[in-house]
Amino acid sequence: MTRQTYRELFEAHAGRDVTKWEHYFELYDRYLGPFRNRPVTMMEIGVGHGGSLELWRDFLGPQAKLVGVDINPACKAYGGEGTEIFIGDQGDPDFMLDVAEKTGPFDVILDDGSHRMGDLRSSFLTLFGAVKPGGLYMAEDLHTCYWRKYGGGHRIPESFLENLKGVIDHMHAFHSEDPETFPVSSFTLTVKGMYFHDSVAVIEKTMPWENGTRPEPRPVFAGQRGSE
């Protein structure tokens, strides 16, 4: 039987409230589809009214372990079998590390929390290390990176999207000709790829290698070369 798409599940949803931007549906199918019907662990920052966690259960399947984080104590009621809720501030690294130590590592982390610049940055820096090799860190509603009331603005240093542009640089640090000022970092060794869509960023963790990190890129050749 053909698996239902996220859109189909969303349109048939009759449980708790959930609101999503319509163009996210295809992205969920593309990036999270490979994790369906597997014993995966997913953290969602921002529980809201609980409907999103219900949809992730329907989408990922019964083997998935879901971890919800929200600052609102009322969200504790949305826990259940296979779903655990933690109440606290996503901008508090100690709290988030404690949750990660208790429930991680994670195949998927989805930040749909406060959407404020400091919280987006703090959660990513705190939790990316808790993503499994081959896993994803996904942040959505990043249009707030251009909204001043969320601490954003076009090209201001505090913008989370500006911070991620720096991670793109780190991903390429193997090619740096200035290792003293632009050295290989933990992001260089662990970020496999980064994908950007309207309001959504997806950071892919490298698959495991012999030493657990991404090897330095090298060119390979095939075919015959003419005399030089």
Q: Which residues pair with 202 in a beta bridge?
A: 138, 195
Q: List Cα–Cα distances, 142 to 25, 52, 106, 124, 138, in angstroms.
A: 16, 18, 22, 13, 11
Q: Among 140, 138, 131, which residue's Cα sits nearest to residue 40?
A: 131
Nearest-angstrom CA–CA distance, 66 and 81: 9
Q: Which of 49, 115, 154, 172 is catalytic?
A: 115
Q: List Cα–Cα distances, 61 to 7, 72, 178, in angstroms.
A: 16, 26, 47
Question: Between β-strands 83-87 and 106-111, what pairing exists: parallel, antiparallel or unpaired?
Answer: unpaired
Three-state SS at 7: helix
Torsion 29-41-43-134 (CA) sign? negative
Q: Give DSSP secondary structure letters for 11-65.
A: HH--SS-----TTHHHHHHHHHGGGTTS--EEEEE--TTSHHHHHHHHHH-TT-E
Residue type, 47: V
Q: Is 115 a catalytic residue?
A: yes
Nearest-angstrom CA–CA distance, 186 and 221: 29
Catalytic residue ranges: 115
